[in-house]
Structure 1
Amino acid sequence: MDQDSDYSYEEQGAAVISPPQIKAESPSKEIAEADLSAGYEGHGEPYSEESDYLEEDENSASSAAESQELRSPLKRPLDDTTAIYRPFKRQRSELNFGYLELLNKEIQDAAQRSSFGDQELPTAGAIGLTSWSGPEKLNFFDAVARLGKHDLPGIAAKIGSKSVAEVSHYLHHLQEASELRQQQGIRSILEFAEYPAALEISQQCCHAQEEAADEISLKQEAREELREQNRWGDAWNITPKVAKKLSRDVHGQDANLSNAPQFAQLFHVSKWLELSARMFMNSSVPANNWNSVDEEPPSMWATTFDDFHSLAVSVTRRLVQTTLFMAMSRIRAKNSMGSNVRAMVQLQDAEAAISSLKMASKLNETWINSARRLRLDVYEDPPEIDEEFEEERMSYEEVEQALSGECAAGPRQRAHPDTPFSTQHSVEYEEDASSDDLLSNSSRSPSPTNEEEQQINMEAMEVLEHSVLDIRTDKATKKALKAFIVIDRQKERQAEEIDQYASYKAEVKMWNLLQKKPPMDLPKKHDPGPPRRSNQTMDTFYPSGREWARKLLYYSEWE
């Protein structure tokens, strides 16, 4: 079951599973196990230790009564279950071939690790003694656009065929050409507004794209389901019922293991599904809760289990081989020194193998951070069903400290600590606010022109007062500085207008591709025209330190 929607539906009245609560008797003791079974009551099936949490057991009467007694009082009764609106369930719609073509193009660009689309390849050439082909140049500029010019190892890794030194040489060559243009007084090739920014589209357009994507994913899933059925038969989709049947076949006395899949002989398949339903897909956030996605409980395809089985076998073989090698090396080294060591694998050999393969487990971090990931409300002493939440919930830092066995250095920090610093800061803020109120009350509200001039004056004073450079504060210098600030602000406004117009055109194009009309008329943006060019920038008057990398010396790998 997929969760391919990233919307935020906090404003909708979706049914949210009440967050589980954890009770801790003392900070030094382990926190009790969280009750993560919320959400299964609607199916009316009791939980059993054999992981049959959806199918009725043969002893359903006794197990149901027993599970009803163990049931948390905070769960809703079975009689109160109503139809749940699932906002994240994929909806059927018409297949949009234009959107499908766009998707295939994006997939192809992602596979080729290129974002330039159908652009022509640059001309091949040589930079110094290094030859650069057209595809290498294209990958170079794509990597610089994605990673920035300072990530030399990342750029070299993306190109694949060039070293860090060759990448640094190419960047240095481009930097020298740019500085030469500035020295000759030639205008920059690109104005600030011509650098493409990220396009912004409305939330309604995003929803329309999700609808088109849902239809494509449903059709693709149907095709993949047919392929899985042809390969695995009736056991292609491992549901809780199928998992229980496989478990019975494997653990039965007269079982023929040749008929059971290999992954069922190695894994407790029911536990995998149960863990997903009760832990990984049972968040208090609707988007990450399986109840908000589909009425069916989580399941996994047999191919997925088969891939995990192959991975487990491969990793185990590699770990065993490395452990044997470590043991043989240890025994050989000690025997060469005259010691008589038994030919036995010890725990330290396995630990050395795990360390050499960099297979250190992060399982503890996964469980420790589970409360933060699932957005759970955790209390040291959770209230009863009729009590109010008088106690403040624990912070995620406190929960993680308790689960990891770390004791807090002091008393629990509240969300708004009352410290001398915060008090002093609030007093200063109130004084500043009161002085600002007096100024605003003593004068009329400034017009846009006066407000613009005031901001320019404040920025100029900030440069003159806080600059580490020795800048004169005479009248001519202030006038020149203000002129540069005005030019920079004009460039920013021009870039903002061009970006808004580009976003408007992109959204109109997307609505046309989706063959839909927006729910409301889009605010029209007029073409601002070509950008106005200027050689004057703040860097001319006041270096901003953007070229800090020019002062660094390159050290070769052997130095």
Structure 2
Amino acid sequence: TSLPRTAGPSSPPCPKRARTATLNHAYVALLNEDILDAAARFTPHHDGAEPLAPSQIGLAVWSAAEKALFFEALARLGRDDVAGIAARVRTKGPAEVAAYLRLLGDENARARSRPRSRQGGQGSAAAAAGGAALVAPWEVPAAVEISQACCAALEEAADGVAARQEAHEEAEERKRWGRDGEHWLIGPWNFREAEAARPERMPWLRFFRVRNWLRLSERVFMNSALDEYSWASVAGEQPAVRATALEDFHALAVAVTRRLVAATMFVAESRVKARRELYPLERSRVWKGDVEAAALSLGLPTNSRTFWARCARRLRLDVYDDENGDGGGWDGEDEQDPMSFDDVEKALGLELESAEGDAGPDETTKSSETDEEMDDDFSSYEEPLPDADEAEEAAVSREMNELLVHSALEYPKSSIARGVLKKRIRAERAHEAYADRLDARASYYEEKRLWAMLERQPPVPLMKVDVPDEPPKCT
């Protein structure tokens, strides 16, 4: 088997990808804010809600900031991960977090035991079996969505930041390597020259075979069949590696090798010492089993076969069967389909396990074609759409039937009971429609803010969604 054909090592260096986007300082501020939030593992909500007031719970006083961190961690980790919530709050221990959770649980139990309110937003179709909904749909934070045009504009702004950062890093690399600055980036166009020169400040050139590193990037790690993960789709720019990265890999390889040698010597000496109690003439030797035991003690794998055999599946590589070596699977009139991932792993000597959920490229294409055929078949049976009132009534009836079939509720025997159930379903649908309009309004304001930050106008005018002043009520 062989991998897809790639550019040969004699190919000239490809030009850098041109980024014409300018630097947007407002976007940089937004990026830095998100980086700080990610470092703090906290995402504040900008929905205009008032912060919670400080209060004393047990012997601990909780500030507004601590409460915000607490509920953010509670939403992400769940109430059972007390230690994780305490780690995110940072200023409170597990005992104080557990006391807060008990208080919330007790209040939740008392709220559920109260009589069900008839105020708007507190009922639902599922409440026909008893109980009350404590949170109305519109009380959940809005789900903001932005258009594809806004996403593309944000990507352009990100390209401007990336271009500035790349230029800065290139200048720093050239400055760091001084007189060897022409070798700060090793690629197919200069690796032979770098290996021949072998500067004293680059000992890794004597330790690594740089050409193999470049081939692995070009043919395996950056050669996915998906365009966004393939080096060929980045304006044809060939893979290269920075001298600093190779220096870091060299330091890592030396450190791991030293640890492995030390662990191997310890295992071998322990084995020899134990055997000399029975065999005094036991010679001090290091066996293969000593190295394997030392690697396992350090948590290192002892066999890389599985890693390389599963590269095609993991990296989505197109692999062709080219036993004759004529390149017939790459181009020409007799172009063949790529091998499935199972066949690749089998050819590389890996025993197939269970890979039902990971289909190959041809299987994915077949499934998508089948879906399109089914869509075409069903499209011929579409009926003309009724008016809004009839469609809403049909949706209410359909939802009521689903509720009765898939729940423990008994079928209402009287028309009054069925009418009450339908009324509750209509109220729930009205609540959901109100929440959807709130989401649409939040999306409008968020996208408007992003376009203003980018100092650009949207290609299509944004449509503002009107929301009633009051939420719908149950009747």
Quickly name the TM-score band, shorter chain normalised: 0.7 to 0.9
1:112 maps to what in 2? 40
* Aligned partners of 1:401 and 1:408 also within 8 Å: no
Match of 1:397 among 342, 365, 376: 342
How much has 1:500 moved relative to structure 2? 1.5
Which moves more between the two structures, 104-113 or 336-345?
A: 336-345
Q: Deviations over 1:364-392 (max 9, x none)?
A: 44433333455444455756955455x66
* Aligned partners of 1:290 and 1:298 also within 8 Å: yes
How much has 1:511 moved relative to structure 2? 0.7
Measured at CA, do residues 142 and 339 of structure 1 come closer, stay the same or move farther in structure 2, by a change above 3 Å? Answer: farther
1:94 maps to what in 2? 22
2:164 pairs with 1:219: yes
Which moves more between the two structures, 231-240 or 149-158?
A: 149-158
**Aligned equivalents of 1:138 and 1:357: distance in 2?**
41
2:216 pairs with 1:288: no
Q: Deviations over 1:373-417 (max 9, x none)?
A: 55444455756955455x6654333333433433799xx99959x
1:370 maps to what in 2? 311
**Aligned equivalents of 1:497 and 1:135: distance in 2?**
30
2:467 maps to what in 1? 528
Amino acid at match of 1:191: A
2:402 pairs with 1:462: yes
Amino acid at match of 1:485: I
Measured at CA, do residues 124 and 502 of structure 1 come closer, stay the same or move farther in structure 2, by a change above 3 Å? Answer: closer
2:298 pairs with 1:357: yes
2:18 pairs with 1:33: no
Query: Helix, strand or coil: the match of 2:19?
Result: coil
Match of 2:432 among 463, 482, 492: 492
2:244 pairs with 1:303: yes
**Aligned equivalents of 2:264 and 2:67: distance in 1?**
45
**Aligned equivalents of 1:291 and 1:317: distance in 2?**
38
Q: Deviations over 1:493-525 (max 9, x none)?
A: 222111112112111111111011112223x13
* Aligned partners of 1:124 and 1:134 also within 8 Å: yes
**Aligned equivalents of 1:355 and 1:397: distance in 2?**
29
**Aligned equivalents of 1:342 and 1:103: distance in 2?**
63
* Aligned partners of 1:283 and 1:374 also within 8 Å: yes
Measured at CA, do residues 526 and 135 of structure 1 come closer, stay the same or move farther in structure 2, by a change above 3 Å? Answer: closer
**Aligned equivalents of 1:166 and 1:281: distance in 2?**
49
How much has 1:154 moved relative to structure 2? 4.5
1:504 maps to what in 2? 444
Query: What is the RMSD computed on CA atoms of the aligned residues?
Result: 4.1
* Aligned partners of 1:140 and 1:159 also within 8 Å: yes
* Aligned partners of 2:292 and 2:302 also within 8 Å: no
* Aligned partners of 2:142 and 2:438 also within 8 Å: no
* Aligned partners of 1:193 and 1:491 also within 8 Å: yes
* Aligned partners of 1:89 and 1:292 also within 8 Å: no
**Aligned equivalents of 2:418 and 2:284: distance in 1?**
83
* Aligned partners of 2:4 and 2:319 also within 8 Å: no
Identity %: 36
Specify every segment of 5 or more residues in structure 2 that has no aligned partner in the other structure, as ranges: 123-132, 323-327, 365-373
Query: Helix, strand or coil: the match of 1:509?
Result: helix
2:413 pairs with 1:474: yes
Match of 1:174 among 104, 109, 114: 104
2:212 maps to what in 1? 271
Q: Deviations over 1:73-107 (max 9, x none)?
A: xxxxxxxxxxx9x9x94522332221121112112
1:73 maps to what in 2? none
How much has 1:115 moved relative to structure 2? 0.9
**Aligned equivalents of 1:232 and 1:209: distance in 2?**
35
* Aligned partners of 2:295 and 2:302 also within 8 Å: no
**Aligned equivalents of 1:213 and 1:280: distance in 2?**
24
Q: Deviations over 1:322-357 (max 9, x none)?
A: 333333343444456777644333322322232232
Amino acid at match of 1:323: T
* Aligned partners of 1:285 and 1:375 also within 8 Å: yes
Correspondences of 1:52-91 after superposition (within 5 Å):
54=12, 89-91=17-19
Which moves more between the two structures, 494-503 or 481-490?
A: 481-490
2:192 pairs with 1:244: yes
**Aligned equivalents of 1:330 and 1:97: distance in 2?**
63
Correspondences of 1:325-340 after superposition (within 5 Å):
325-335=266-276
Q: Deviations over 1:122-141 (max 9, x none)?
A: 66666556776666544332
**Aligned equivalents of 1:100 and 1:226: distance in 2?**
20
2:255 maps to what in 1? 314
**Aligned equivalents of 1:265 and 1:503: distance in 2?**
56
TM-score normalised by L of structure 1: 0.66
**Aligned equivalents of 1:128 and 1:340: distance in 2?**
70
* Aligned partners of 1:194 and 1:531 also within 8 Å: no
TM-score normalised by L of structure 2: 0.76
**Aligned equivalents of 2:106 and 2:234: distance in 1?**
56
1:141 maps to what in 2? 71
Specify every segment of 5 or more residues in structure 1 that has no aligned partner in the other structure, as ranges: 1-31, 47-52, 56-83, 251-256, 417-428, 537-559
Measured at CA, do residues 224 and 117 of structure 1 come closer, stay the same or move farther in structure 2, by a change above 3 Å? Answer: farther
How much has 1:265 moved relative to structure 2? 2.5
* Aligned partners of 1:286 and 1:292 also within 8 Å: yes
Amino acid at match of 2:105: Q
Query: Helix, strand or coil: the match of 2:348?
Result: helix
Aligned residues: 435
How much has 1:473 moved relative to structure 2? 3.9
Match of 1:513 among 453, 461, 469: 453
2:371 maps to what in 1? none
